[in-house]
Homo-oligomer: A and B are copies of this chain.
Amino acid sequence: MAPLPPGSTLGILGGGQLGRMLSQAASRLGFNVVILDPEENSPAGRVSQGQIVAAYDNPTALGVLGQTSAAVTFEFENVPAASVERLAEGGALVAPGPKALAVAQDRVDEKTFLNGVGATTVDFVPVDSLDDLLAGLERLGTPALLKTRREGYDGKGQIWARSAKMAADAWHAIGERPAILEARADFTRELSVIAARGRDGTLAVYPLGENTHKGGVLKTTVAPATVDAKTEKRAKAIAKAILDGLDYVGVLGVELFDLGGGKLLVNEIAPRVHNTGHWTQDGCVCDQFEQHIRAIAGWPLGPTNAHARVEMTNLLGDEVEQWKTLSAKPDMRLHLYGKAEARPGRKMGHVNRVKPL
């Protein structure tokens, strides 16, 4: 396709911090942005030309957004397939496409796809009953991780099954819903790679990040991570296999388990800009948000090399009160999301600590 000219309108489903930072990147490139989000005056809506306040599956709202926007994208992956169809009917180019969303919405489909393109994951078994779970524990050993097949994020909807005896409790804990049982990975650390694919199939892959989590929620990313050439090469090959396999357009995040010796397993993928890519805002001239906008607008992808080493730390809940001390430190770059209520664990902002490479 011909690149969308500045002045075109882009639509974003979701008005949280990812939508906000996507909108800011889009407006730097001269685009107008319309947000769809059920919450009035959302963080993204407040920095955009307009916001449609409606449910994500409201057909009228989706029709309007599709007609208004030359291209539409998402800040989250749990967009109903019917919504994507409605947007496309409105005339908008939707990216990422239905295949990426479908794969990312179901953990069994996701792992099946990943292994199919050579992006190895832990062993897993689909679980539809307590019997399945018991058989799975037998096969994968304990402990193993039981997760709902659909939905769940930031550690929600998952539980470690530590013994066959605990299986019934675990099955009950996740609501006896269709699930997946995952073998434990014996990894040394968690890495991630942020990569983009343009409408013409070109790729742009950022240096790897090393991540730490706390209570299932990302706490820090350090990037570029210290990795050997083999690991770097393997991560980039994995990203390429996934992006090409999904015929993907936009930025995608890949969470990896580092087993050492250049061996990596894919933990999960997110078909969107990703929290572990926030370091690019202060470490690269073209951050993941601009990169995503470039991709969906059919622009050439931007450079991905790092010009600084960045330690990104999420500010969760009342940690955002640290803005006062952080704002006085010249190496700390604050990014705040404009959320009014600092509920415990809520992502309120992040700070990038910038050091020379």
Residues of A with Cβ closer than 8 Å to B? Answer: 3, 5-7, 20, 23-24, 27-32, 41, 46-49, 282, 285-286, 294, 299-300, 302-303, 307-308, 320, 323-324, 327-328, 330-331, 333-338, 340, 349, 354
Contacts and interface: CB of A to CB of B under 8 A. Distances in A.
Contact of A300 (B7, B29, B328): B328
Nearest to A321: B5
A286 to B, nearest CB: 8
Nearest to A341: B7
A89 B258 CA distance: 61
Contacts of A23: 47
B285 A354 contact: yes
B327 A299 contact: yes
A325 to B, nearest CB: 10
B49 A46 contact: yes
A308 B307 CA distance: 10
A5 B299 CA distance: 37
Contacts of A337: 30
B300 A6 contact: no
Number of copies: 2
B320 A303 contact: no
Nearest to A282: B285
Contacts of A31: 338
A328 B301 CA distance: 7
B30 A349 contact: yes
Given A29-B334, A299-B327, A320 B24 contact: no
Contacts of A340: 7
A23 B32 CA distance: 15
29 contacts: A5-B323, A6-B349, A7-B340, A20-B27, A23-B47, A24-B27, A24-B28, A24-B47, A27-B47, A27-B338, A28-B334, A28-B335, A28-B336, A29-B334, A29-B336, A30-B323, A30-B336, A30-B338, A32-B46, A46-B48, A282-B285, A285-B330, A285-B333, A285-B354, A286-B330, A286-B333, A300-B327, A303-B331, A307-B307
A10 to B, nearest CB: 12
A50 to B, nearest CB: 9
Given A24-B24, A27-B47, A30-B323, 17 more contacts: A3-B327, A6-B336, A6-B338, A7-B338, A27-B338, A28-B334, A29-B336, A30-B334, A30-B349, A32-B46, A32-B338, A47-B49, A285-B354, A299-B327, A300-B328, A303-B330, A307-B307
B47 A327 contact: no
Which residue, of A6, A7, A282, A286, has the highest number of chain B Cβ atoms within 10 A?
Answer: A6
A29 B323 CA distance: 9
Contacts of A336: 6, 28-30
Nearest to A6: B336
